[in-house]
Amino acid sequence: MIFTQYYLDCLSQASYLIGDESTGRAVVVDPRRDINEYVQDAEAAGLTIEVIFETHFHADFLSGHLELAEATGAAIGLSDVASPEFDAKLFADGEKYSLGEIELEILHTPGHTPESISIVVREQADAEPWGVLTGDTLFIGDVGRPDLLASIGFEKDDLAEMLYDSLHNKLMPLPDATRVYPAHGAGSACGKNLSTETSSTMGEQRADNYALKAPDKQAFIDMVTEGQPPAPEYFAYDAILNRKDRDLLDEDSPIDALDLAQVEALVATGTMLVDGRGPDEFGNGHLVGAVNVGLDGRYAEFAGSVVPSDVDIVMMVDEGRELEARNRLARIGFDRVVGYLANPIQVMIDNPDKVRQASRLTAGELAERMESVPDLQLVDIRNPGEFADGAIEGAAPMPVGQMPGRIGELDPSKPTVVYCAGGYRSSVAASYMRNHGFGDVSDLLGGYGAWTPVPA
């Protein structure tokens, strides 16, 4: 058996290539949208990809099933509960799919979504399960959240009840030695307690996973429906788009280089300028109106948190990283990239009147400002779990993923300071607020981690 896990750190997302060397037949599970790596690896191993399995309609990224089907001629495999708007092979609960010696068994495991499946892998038919790909049903240290589809008509308690039954009736009966390969790891908003480990065993999960140790169904429902991190704005958009027949990504296609006049004309008509440099570089100098989402962080996730899915985007990134940035936005279905600013550093040097520095405070400077500015507006943009573990006195909680829908709760005329854990998210939020009319916004250098030694 050839078994490869592809782990994408910036989305905490795992996909898989499973191949049978005896027949040269293979499947891919939960592919990301830029699919060249799967195609190249399969060709190098002498494998033919014949089915692309989706464990469910994902919300946190736009899957590459359509791109991979176009590139390879493979069928797309889903649960027969699913209703895709594209051609697909639908699998019944318990149905088996043979690659030759290797056999895959499709288990319906609804709960995270109604159409969720897990895939049991056996090295020979009727052998003990070698492993199971659990999608978003079972994570390492956690289980899939049942509340993401609330915005499109599904009750979280109903899905949580399905999830309990799926775990206890389908996955927990698997042997202790069965390897567990989920679709996500730590950092994903698809759960609240995901491990940094990217694989485990059923025995380890039975022993260590808090959700599997719930004493009864109601306790489980209460556990998994409380304390979930806010879902980024783009999740509902992707959950719907993954069902549709849509345009394909060509990850090698060129992007238009734009001069400053072209960028300014686009921004004047509603295009967003997204500056992909790091918070320090952005703080030292950026074009007025730019929103900072650093390419070296969770770029697509936080771009999707503050950039609407229905607006055009102009990118500003370090030279040579334009394709990377475009393709990472495409991973969440943000295809409206109309170009990038050419020679960005020289543009700023040549146009100093259009460049601003960002106000960034040390912990000591924030303490002084809190004493001297009586109407200071302090905003904690971390997730609720982080806030509950400790916050700066007087801070209002507003996770960055909720900011577009809640920014009206803040007063743009007040001096404002935002902070996160380390400084990446706060630069995103502060730049977004400046873009939306806040005149005096600073962020905290080093975030809450830098503040904790400072007395309140």
Angle at 318 between CA 416 and CA 188, to 5 degrees: 60
Residue 456: pLDDT over 50:
no
86, 87, 93, 94 alpha-carbon torsion, rounded to 10°: -140
Q: Are 106 and 209 members of one domain?
A: yes
Q: What's the helix, strand, coil split of the chain in %, to 5?
A: 35, 20, 45
Query: Which CATH number belongs to the domain containing residue 424 in this structure?
Result: 3.40.250.10
DSSP-based three-state secondary structure for 436 = coil
Residue 251 lies in a domain: no
Q: Are 45 and 68 members of one domain?
A: yes
Query: What would the pLDDT profile of 103-127 be if each residue is shown by its tens digit?
Result: 999 999 999 999 999 999 999 998 9
Average pLDDT for 56-81: 97
| Active-site choice (224, 420, 429, 444) | 420
Could you give the CA distance from residue 175 to residue 120 in angstroms, rounded to a whole number? 11
Q: Are 145 and 182 members of one domain?
A: yes
> What pLDDT is recorded for position 195?
84
Q: Which of 186, 209, 241 is the last residue of a domain?
A: 241
Phi-psi region of 296 (alpha: psi -120 to 50; beta: other; left: phi over 0): alpha
Q: Are 225 and 369 members of one domain?
A: no
> What pLDDT is recorded for position 454?
58
Residue 326 lies in a domain: yes
- The pTM of the full predicted model, rounded to 2 decimals, is 0.93
Q: Are 227 and 309 members of one domain?
A: no
Q: Are 176 and 145 members of one domain?
A: yes
Could you give the CA distance from residue 71 to residue 33 in angstroms, rounded to a whole number? 12
Q: What's the domain range around 322?
A: 257-356
> What pLDDT is recorded for position 155?
82
Query: H/E/C letters for each residue in 248-314?
Result: CCCCCCCCCEECHHHHHHHHHCCCEEEECCCHHHHHHCEECCCEECCCCCCHHHHHHHHCCCCCCEE
Query: What would the pLDDT profile of 253-266 be if each residue is shown by its tens digit?
Result: 999 999 999 999 99
Residue 248 lies in a domain: no
Residue 119 lies in a domain: yes
Alpha-carbon separation of residue 144 from 8, 71, 105, 109, 208 (angstroms) = 18, 31, 21, 11, 16
Pairing mode, strands 359-361 and 355-356 = unpaired
Q: Are 67 and 129 members of one domain?
A: yes
Q: Which of 356, 391, 424 is the last residue of a domain?
A: 356
> What pLDDT is recorded for position 453?
65
Residue 341 lies in a domain: yes
Q: Are 116 and 147 members of one domain?
A: yes
Residue 280: CB atoms within 10 A of its CB come to 13
How many structural domains does the chain have? 3
Query: Which CATH number belongs to the domain containing residue 192 in this structure?
Result: 3.60.15.10
Q: Could you please report the per-residue DSSP string of 193-230?
A: S--S-S-EEHHHHHHH-GGGG-SSHHHHHHHHHSSPPP
Residue 247 lies in a domain: no
Alpha-carbon separation of residue 213 from 99, 101, 204, 217 (angstroms) = 35, 35, 12, 10
Pairing mode, strands 117-122 and 103-108 = antiparallel
Residue 53 lies in a domain: yes
Q: Which of 356, 384, 405 is the last residue of a domain?
A: 356
Q: Are 166 and 192 members of one domain?
A: yes
Active-site annotation holds for 420: yes
Q: Are 374 and 390 members of one domain?
A: yes
DSSP-based three-state secondary structure for 354 = helix
162-173 as b/e: b if 16+ CB within 10 A: bbbebbeebbee
**Residue 59 has which token pair?**
């919300």
Which neighbouring-strand residues pair with 121? 104, 131
Query: What would the pLDDT profile of 181-232 be if each residue is shown by its tens digit?
Result: 999 998 777 777 788 899 999 999 999 999 999 999 999 999 898 877 778 8
Q: Are 232 and 373 members of one domain?
A: no
Q: Are 280 and 396 members of one domain?
A: no
Please, what is the average pLDDT of the chain? 94
Query: What would the pLDDT profile of 345-376 be if each residue is shown by its tens digit?
Result: 999 999 999 999 999 999 999 999 999 999 99
Q: Which residue has the tokens 């900072």?
A: 292
Residue 206 lies in a domain: yes
